[in-house]
Amino acid sequence: MGSKNKNGEIEENSCRNPDGTLRLRNRNIEHLQEDILYHLALGTESHDLVKMFGDVKFVCMGGTANRMKHLAQYLKTEMNFELPTGTSLCDLTENSHRFSMYKVGPILCVNHGMGVPSIGILLHEITKLMYHAKAKNPIFFRIGTCGGIGLKEGTVIVSKSAVDEMGNAYHTQKICGKVVQRPAKLDHQLVKDLISLKKSDDKFNVVEGITMCADDFYEGQGRTDGAFCDHTEEDKFNYLKELQNRGVTNIEMEAVAFAAFTHYAGIKAALINVALVNRLNGDQVTTPKEVLLEWQNHPQIIVGRYIKQILCKN
Amino acid sequence: MGSKNKNGEIEENSCRNPDGTLRLRNRNIEHLQEDILYHLALGTESHDLVKMFGDVKFVCMGGTANRMKHLAQYLKTEMNFELPTGTSLCDLTENSHRFSMYKVGPILCVNHGMGVPSIGILLHEITKLMYHAKAKNPIFFRIGTCGGIGLKEGTVIVSKSAVDEMGNAYHTQKICGKVVQRPAKLDHQLVKDLISLKKSDDKFNVVEGITMCADDFYEGQGRTDGAFCDHTEEDKFNYLKELQNRGVTNIEMEAVAFAAFTHYAGIKAALINVALVNRLNGDQVTTPKEVLLEWQNHPQIIVGRYIKQILCKN
């Protein structure tokens, strides 16, 4: 990051300034009179983004608005952040009607909806937000839910890599009629750091794994309980076994885009998912909602410990 | 629909029973002891789906929960549906934390989030819901927002067909490691019926068009204002012009999956979008929110007239 070429100039492709603020891989943004982050209902003219978000060090993303609000409240308690009397956390992107975002000290918690296109919109706008805000070296987390392959329900999987439905370790996009592939790479040191935070008395396991990203919950994950099913139980098991043989531990719907985007943007990032079902045992999520909600706390606990450790060092 | 083969049996591929209730292209569902519609927080054992949803004739889908609540309230007023004293519309899928769904008489209004994977989850579960509820001949609408190509902002586009980012008139999925393509076809009579409902004193135009479905809002639609931009303004204009030459009128993020799914399911369906920006003039959505919200009413007005017409006939 911030590497210099032989003339001593910062290279075009570099994604970070020497002070840790982001450089975008898009010079057009510098020349915009106003940048409206449409799906966040924030903008460079309408808001003082530096004042509002300049201190952000961590961006935590997850599927539902509800879970992100819960995460913000959990982190507030864990970090002993006190709010002024008469105030409570509010949704910073309420006017967008698209995403919900909460801020607790230097931590943003924002939901990304379901699937690659939805998280893609958020990643573009959150990255531009961090750029406009002059936030320094922000770390992105996706804290999600997934189906595990051969793992006990409630297990937390920290992804060392991400693959698509065909096993490719890159994200494929179509841009102006051309097919573009970007490698889906994650930070290996961050994976190790997160896994090391498991405590011996935790009631759940934390493992590293390879995460498959599907574009569909039903047919795209081999499920046989969608509105359509042209494949057999045998096709499903062969597919899941093939994935398992390649080291795939879990399936969700955002990993490959999240990994490719953050890698291309030069942003340190991690994917931490909890398995709600063992796909080798079935397709349906039959566990009671209160147990599911309890399991959804597991990745939050690990990420909370990581953030606390970093903040205590500074 | 309900066609019989030479032995007089209803064919495997038929999607409708003689009474108009749906037949699923998945026999597994008949044999499930319980079917949990996970992202709707509804299930065949926990809810009396026939009683709750058996009368549904129209399913209206749109991106945001807010817009769908507004639509439900609008249709309630338009259709003169009265609620019992002391009651108000409630979100039927509140416990899912994923989608929001409102019911007004025989009309469901439910949000689908952003992008193909998100609407795909909803389509699987709503179709299974209609099947379990024994709803008869339900019609699906997607009432959305889009970018227009050469159209005035506020124009309503009723799609006669849908294409992907490469111009293919089919939806491509990966199922158990195989590439599957399903034609993205829409009901041409329904397109004509909807367009005919424009009134001469409407303040907006209603046109038929070809809708491109992108998997991304920024690079995938040729925008030059994302966090990344490796293409030029010229690349963008060449791409938009090429689309326009092929008859593409507008770009959004769900069309091809919606058209392919409903066609494969044998469900009559229409895509009605309003253009919030003319992409030939720019990328950013700079129009004030209150004007955008006003424009978002345009497709609701047309669909409201259609539903009213059908209900008055019966």
Which among B36, B118, B236 is the nearest to A285, CB-wise?
A: B36
Is residue A301 scored above 50 in pLDDT? yes
- DSSP per residue, A229-254: --S-HHHHHHHHHHHHHTTEEEEESS
Which among B67, B95, B176 is the nearest to A239, CB-wise?
A: B176
CB contact B166 to A (< 8 Å): yes
Sketch out chain A's domains with CATH numbers. Answer: 1-137 (3.40.50.1580), 143-314 (3.40.50.1580)
Which pLDDT score, from 0 to 100, does residue B4 have?
Answer: 46
Chain A nearest C-alpha distance from B89 (Å): 19
Question: Cα-atom radius of gyration of chain A, to the nearest Å?
Answer: 20
Q: How confident is the model at residue B313 (pLDDT cuts 50, 70, 90)?
A: confident
Which pLDDT score, from 0 to 100, does residue A6 have?
Answer: 53
Nearest CA in chain B to A32: B225
Chain A residues in contact with B222 by the CB 8 A cut-off are 175-176
**Do B176 and A233 touch, CB atoms closer than 8 A?**
no
Q: Please give the model's pTM, rounded to 2 decimal places.
A: 0.95
Which pLDDT score, from 0 to 100, does residue A11 have?
Answer: 47
- Taking CA atoms, B53 is separated from A308, B42, B44, B70, B283, in Å, by 48, 11, 12, 20, 41
CB contact A59 to B (< 8 Å): no
CB contact under 8 A, A32 and B225: yes
The pLDDT tens digits for A4-46 are 445 444 444 488 999 999 999 999 999 999 999 999 999 999 9
Interface of A with B in 281-300 (CB under 8 A): 284-286, 289
Rounded Cα–Cα distance for residues A208 and A230 (Å): 33
How many CA atoms are closer than 13 Å to the CA of A299, on its beta-carbon side? 31
Average pLDDT of every residue of chain B: 95
- Taking CA atoms, A26 is separated from A172, A179, A199, in Å, by 19, 19, 42
Rounded Cα–Cα distance for residues A222 and A156 (Å): 22
The pLDDT tens digits for B252-271 are 999 999 999 999 999 999 99
Which pLDDT score, from 0 to 100, does residue B314 have?
Answer: 74
Rounded Cα–Cα distance for residues A15 and B158 (Å): 42
Which among A97, A164, A229 is the nearest to B64, CB-wise?
A: A97
The pLDDT tens digits for A237-293 are 999 999 999 999 999 999 999 999 999 999 999 999 999 999 999 999 989 989 999
Chain pair A-B, CB pairs under 8 angstroms:
221
**Do B215 and A14 touch, CB atoms closer than 8 A?**
no
Exposed, middle or buried by CB within 10 Å (0-12, 13-18, 19+), for B7?
A: exposed
Chain B residues in contact with A26 by the CB 8 A cut-off are 224-229
Q: Of the candidates B277, B273, B275, which has an alpha carbon nearest to the alpha carbon of residue B225?
A: B277
- Taking CA atoms, A166 is separated from A68, A182, A215, A246, in Å, by 31, 15, 11, 11
CB contact B312 to A (< 8 Å): no
Place of tokens 């608005």: A65
Is residue A297 scored above 80 in pLDDT? yes
Give me the sign of the Cα torsion angle B223, B227, B232, B235: negative
Chain B residues in contact with A175 by the CB 8 A cut-off are 219-220, 222, 230-231
Place of tokens 């469901």: B108
Which among B34, B41, B117 is the nearest to A117, CB-wise?
A: B117
Which among B28, B131, B180 is the nearest to A224, CB-wise?
A: B28
What are the structure tokens assigned to A93, written together?
A: 């992107």
Interface of B with A in 218-237 (CB under 8 A): 218-220, 222, 224-231, 235-236
